[in-house]
Chains A and B, each alone.
Chain A
C-alpha cells in the first residue's frame, strides 16, 4: 500500500518534470541548444505567480498573467542571449545558457532574498480521495491531468496546425524551411514562448503541490527534466512526457525504500539512470521508433 501512495507521489512529481522536459525538448529540437536556464524559468513562473497574487489579484487572474509574463521572459532571453549566438559554436551557446541560469537565480535572490516563500494553498478547498486506507490528494490527480492534457494539446498543435507543422519543418531543416518562406526567427520565438509557458504551468503545479518556493528551486527539477528529456529521446514530445513520469516514479520509489536520512540518494539514482541511458540507448526510449521531432 505504501507502494501505491509512492506511485501517486511519483506521478505527481513526474508530471512536473514532464512539463519542464517538454520545454527542454522543444527548444532542443528547434535550435539544438540545451537551454540550461529552462529550469530557472520555472522558478521565475513561481515567483511571478506569488508576486501577482500577493499584490492583491485573484488567483484566476494572477496565474494566467504569470504564465504570459514567464512566456515573454523566455522569448526575451532567446532574443538577447541566444539569437546572436545562433551561428556560433554550440559550446558558447551552452555556456551562455548556464550564465543565464545563474543570472536568473541571483537576480531573484536579490529581489526576493533566498528565504523560501510560502506558496498559496488550494488543497483545503479540494476533495481528498480515500481508497482503502490511502488518502490521495486531488492536487496529485489534477497535476497529472494537467500535464497530460497540455501534452495532448501541444501534440495537436504541432501536428494539426500550419504553425505547428512549420515548427516541425524548422526543427528538421532550418535552411530548407527558410526557402519555403517560413520566418524562422518567429517560429523560434514561438517555441520559446510555448516552452516557457509550460515551465510556468509546472511552477504553479509545483507551488500548489509542495507549498514552498525559493530562487534555486528550478535547478534540481531543471536537471531532472533534462534527464527526463534524454531518457525519452531528446526532441521527441511523447518521449519527454514518458521520461518525466518514469523519472518521478523512480525517484519516489527509491526514496521510499531508502532508510531514513538517506533519501538524498534518490537523486543519485536519477543520475545513474542518465548514465545508463547514455551508455545503452543514447537516442532515448522512443529514440528509434518514433522519430517525430520538435
Chain B
C-alpha cells in the first residue's frame, strides 16, 4: 500500500557545508504521508543542519529535497511554509517581545483567510488551554514548557501537512517531555506527517513509525522504531544501557 504512495518528503544524496566544513555528507531518506519519522543522533551530528536545509534556511551544495514531488531547491523559506511545510526550531525561538497571541498570528502569516486563522487559533487554544490563559502575556515571560507548547502551536497556525520538530524535549523535565510527545502523537492522529529530530533517542524511537540514525553527517542505521529500540548498538550508544 505505502509503496504505491508518493513520499511526502524525499531527501536525496544531500551534502551541506558551512564554508569549508562539511556538516552533512551525502544522506538520503524519505517520509511517507501520515508517518512519524525520527532522526536521532548525538550533539553535532548534523540534525539541525538537515532540518534547516529542508526549510530553505541553508542551501545544499549537492543533492535534492523534494516535498510532495516538488524540488525545494531555490524555493525561498517563506514559500516553503506556504506549501504546507512548517518547522518548530531548536530552542523554541518564540518571539519573546510579542504576546502569545501575536506569536500565534505570526505563525499564520501566510494565510490570507482571517476566519480560517480564527478557527486555527481556537484549535490551538483547545490543545493548549494554558496558552489561552496567557494569550496577552509576553512570550518571554512563559516557562520553558509553555514556550515549547507555543512554538508547536505557532507552527500549527500555518495549517501544515508536514511538521518538522527540532529537539522539542530539549531542556524539559521528563513530565513535560511526555506531555509534548503526547501532543505530537495527537497531531499525527489528525493526519499531520511528522519528522522529529531528537537527541533523546528513547522517547523518539518509541514514538516513531520509522527512524534513522545520524552520525557525523552520515546516516548509519535505519529501521522501524521498535527494531532500533531493540538494536544492541543503539542500546549501547544512545540509550545508555
Q: Which residues of A contact B (CB under 8 A)?
A: 162, 165-166, 168-169, 172-173, 175-184, 291-293
Q: Say whether, besides A165-B102, A175-B57, A175-B89, A180 and B109 are in contact (CB < 8 Å).
A: yes
Q: Is the interface of A mostly helix, strand, loop or mixed?
A: helix
Across the interface, which residues of A come within 8 angstroms of B235, CB to CB? none
Partner among B76, B82, B98 whose Cβ is within 8 Å of the Cβ of A168 = B98
In this complex, what residue of A is CB-closest to B164?
Answer: A179
In this complex, what residue of B is CB-closest to A165?
Answer: B102
User: Cβ of B82 and Cβ of A179 under 8 Å apart?
Assistant: no
User: Cβ of B93 and Cβ of A173 under 8 Å apart?
Assistant: yes
User: Cβ of B93 and Cβ of A178 under 8 Å apart?
Assistant: no
In this complex, what residue of B is CB-closest to A183?
Answer: B78
Q: Which residues of B contact A (CB under 8 A)?
A: 55-57, 76-78, 81-82, 86-87, 89, 93-98, 102, 105-107, 109-110, 154-155, 158
Q: Say whether, besides A173-B93, A176-B89, A181 and B110 are in contact (CB < 8 Å).
A: yes
CA distance A172 to B78 in the complex (A): 17
27 A-B residue pairs with Cβ-Cβ distance under 8 Å, sorted by A, are A162-B105, A162-B109, A165-B106, A166-B106, A168-B98, A169-B106, A172-B96, A172-B97, A172-B98, A175-B89, A176-B94, A176-B95, A177-B95, A178-B55, A178-B78, A179-B86, A179-B93, A180-B106, A181-B77, A181-B78, A181-B82, A181-B109, A181-B158, A182-B106, A182-B109, A183-B78, A184-B78
Across the interface, which residues of B come within 8 angstroms of A292, CB to CB? 97
User: Cβ of A173 and Cβ of B105 under 8 Å apart?
Assistant: no
In the A-B complex, the 9 residue pairs with the closest CB atoms: A181-B81, A181-B110, A176-B93, A178-B77, A183-B78, A180-B106, A181-B78, A169-B95, A181-B109
CA distance A177 to B96 in the complex (A): 12
Across the interface, which residues of B come within 8 angstroms of A181, CB to CB? 77-78, 81-82, 109-110, 158
